[in-house]
A and B are shown apart, each in its own frame.
Chain A
Amino acid sequence: MIRNTFIRKACLFSFVVGGFVTAGRLHAQGETHKGLAIEKDRTAGYKASTGSEAKLIEVTDELPCDPGSTVYIGDIIRRVTVLTTHENKVRLVTTVAYEGTCRYSNEQWLDILELKVSGRPGHLHVKCGNMEPGEEHNFNFQLAPNNLFFSPPGPPAPSRHRTPDLPQRKSLNDLTPNGTVVFDASGKWLYKKGNIRRNIYVYVPIGTKLDIESRYAEVIVDSNVREVNARIMNGNLTMRDADKLVLTNSYGSVYVGNIVDARVDLIHGWFHAKNMSILDINSKVSTVELGAQGKVKMISNDDQYEMESAEMISGGKNYGSLRVITLKNSLDLSGVSADIKVHNIDPDVSLVKIDGQYADLRLPVDNLKDYTVYFEGRGSNLYTPFDRGHATDSSFKVTVGTGKKNSFWLKCSNCTLDMK
Chain B
Amino acid sequence: MDKLKEYLLGHKAGLDVDSPADGAWEQIESKMSLERRGSASWRIRYAVAASLIVLSGAGLWLVIRKDKAPADTAKQGSGINRAPAPRGDSGKAAVNGVASAPPGQNRDGGPKPAGHKTRHEKPMEPSDAVGMIDKSYASLIDFQLKKLRATPLYAENGSYFSFYVEQFKQMDQDEQAVRNDIKRYGLTNEFLEQLINVYQQKLNVLKNLETEINKMNNKVREKQSPRVQPELHYLDI
Contacts and interface: CB of A to CB of B under 8 A. Distances in A.
A285 B187 contact: no
B70 to A, nearest CB: 7
A179 B96 CA distance: 40
A71 B155 CA distance: 53
A25 B66 contact: yes
Contacts of A88: none
A361 to B, nearest CB: 12
Interface string A130-168: 100000000111011000111000000100000110100
B187 A176 contact: yes
Contacts of B171: 268
Contact-residue size bin, chain B (C-beta under 8 Å from the other chain) = 35 or more
B219 A358 contact: yes
A194 to B, nearest CB: 11
B59 interface: yes
B55 A11 contact: no
A84 interface: no
Contact-residue size bin, chain A (C-beta under 8 Å from the other chain) = 35 or more
Interface in A339-393: 358, 379
Given A10-B48, A39-B77, A173-B104, A358 B184 contact: no
A141 B176 contact: yes
B191 A141 contact: no
B5 interface: no
B30 interface: no
A251 B197 contact: yes
Contacts of A45: 107
Contact of A337 (B104, B201, B216): B216
A169 interface: yes
A178 interface: yes
B127 interface: yes
A7 B76 contact: no
Given A32-B70, A320-B208, A301 B163 contact: yes
A235 to B, nearest CB: 8
B44 A4 contact: yes
A379 B223 contact: yes
10 contacts: A7-B44, A11-B47, A11-B48, A14-B48, A40-B76, A148-B179, A149-B127, A172-B186, A216-B191, A320-B208
